[in-house]
Structure 1
Amino acid sequence: MQLTPDFEPAKAVKSLLRRSRQGALATLMAGSGDPYCSLVNVATHPDGSPILLISRLAIHTKNLLADARVSLMLDERVEGDPLEGARIMLSGHAEEITADRDLVRQRYLNAHPSAEAFVDFKDFSFFRIRLSGTHLVAGFGRILDLKAAQFLTDISDAQALIDAEQSAVEHLNSDHREALGLYATRLLGAGSADWRCSGIDPEGIDLQAGTKTLRLDFPERITGPGDLRKILVRLADQARSPEGRTP
């Protein structure tokens, strides 16, 4: 299939993964194997793989505990015909998170603050979807399959950044809301809103205002807090310049 020269499939998948907050989770009914689909809230691990916070009382949780194979559809919420927006159908296996639970918990709550009310209920658990690939539909001539390695974020050398992420998120949200607003309006062309940071990883920063989400890619990959400070200052300077706005 022919792809237009300016289209970067992996970048499109990465962006939708980081910006999505809800998705359609498909599991196999325990016992019968019949397909079952449900709406779930979604956050992302630092590497981009989806994180779910789900109750063991829910049918989809019982299903994936019996058979870990799942698929998750994420779509670009557009006005008008929803089929005109991009969407990805992710496939993989769901596994309950035991290690790094504090990290996953915080990233999920940054994306879904209202979950604070039930995140520690005994019947709720975090699950991560270990992805094998995705099917991307992004318009005419933009339909293809990608393997997980093509769109997940390499975090093998970024532990220092991961360790510093939450303190950086809190610092940005408490002391640099003006800069976050400039990132959204000047660099990404979004409207003015109470933009806050909801996540940071080696490839970019996630912004959120109510139900609106944005993804700002870094000009180069970073691995530590020192690199993060430098790149955020550079992006703020770019946003304040007359030529700052991204077309």
Structure 2
Amino acid sequence: MTDDIGVTARRLMRACAQATLATLGRPGGDGAGFPSPSLVLTGFALDGSPLLLISALAEHTKNLEADPRCGLLFDGTAGHADRLTGPRLSVQGRALRDDDPGLRQRFIARHPSAAAYAGFGDFSLWRVEVLRGHMVAGFGRIHGLAADALRLDGADWTELAARQDDIIGHMNDDHADAVSLYATKLLGQPACGWRLTGIDPDGCDLRAGELSARLDFGGRVRDADMARAELVRLVGVARRT
């Protein structure tokens, strides 16, 4: 059960393009010591760690510099007539600056508009080290989650990381028809030039202009061979849909 809800929680989290970030008001600032919520764009490392590209001028960044403890709320309740019956995930952790160019590129691929300001000197990438989670999967379905349910071990993603660019390039250059099928047949999106922008053990990200979508894998994908098999399987499912 824990593993199943962990998969559900990671899928919800990775599908969210934005989240509510809660930081602690810094000493000497307005609202010192009080929780301070703000809206942020989110990306994800292959292990599932949330990524933030934020400006040093923002209040939430100043708060994190004083105290790295933070919370994130990922809201999956859209489309539910009663939003309180929909799924949502709260995570607590510590936000740390991370200069890994690969993580920055993952964020920009997910949010192309970020390329316009990603190079500004006041913007930096932060990775949230998740410590625990609280998942409400629906009315009365409440689960506490340990960090290892939300963050994958290196054995689950290291080999995939080495080939992710090859996989994405190959799918976009040689199998654009398959990517279109994923979006239109499996995800109910309009046909409008979809491309694969990211892949991880839990699924892949797709984008067409301002539209974005998330395709979940049927099981955990750890390397290029597993990715190929799953992507081929999903094409078959799409063609039968």
2:23 corresponds to:
27
- Give the number of aligned pairs: 233
Say if 1:18 and 1:215, in contact at 8 Å, map to a contact too. no
Counterpart residue identity of residue 166, structure 1: D
Say if 1:202 and 1:223, in contact at 8 Å, map to a contact too. yes
1:88 corresponds to:
89
Alpha-carbon spacing, 1:30–1:212, altered in 2? closer, same or farther (3 Å):
same
Q: 1:1-247 residue pairs with structure 2 within 5 A?
A: 8-31=4-27, 32-76=32-76, 78-79=78-79, 80-98=81-99, 101-156=100-155, 158-186=157-185, 188-194=186-192, 195-209=194-208, 210-219=210-219, 221-240=220-239, 242=240, 245=241
Alpha-carbon spacing, 1:208–1:147, altered in 2? closer, same or farther (3 Å):
farther
Give the distance between the partners of 1:174 and 1:114, measured in 2 at CA: 22
Counterpart residue identity of residue 19, structure 2: G
Give the distance between the partners of 1:213 and 1:90, measured in 2 at CA: 22
Say if 1:206 and 1:215, in contact at 8 Å, map to a contact too. yes
Q: Percent identity?
A: 40
Measured after TM superposition, the shift of residue 81 of structure 1 is 4.3
Say if 1:26 and 1:38, in contact at 8 Å, map to a contact too. yes
Alpha-carbon spacing, 1:153–1:9, altered in 2? closer, same or farther (3 Å):
same
Instruction: String of CA shifts for 1:73-110, please: whole Å, max 9, x gaps.
Output: 01015134433421111100000003xx1210111011
Structure 2 residues without counterparts, runs of 5 or longer: none
User: TM-score, length-normalised on structure 1?
Assistant: 0.85
**Which is worse superposed, 116-125 or 8-17?**
8-17
Measured after TM superposition, the shift of residue 235 of structure 1 is 2.5
User: TM-score, length-normalised on structure 2?
Assistant: 0.87
State the Cα RMSD in Å: 2.2
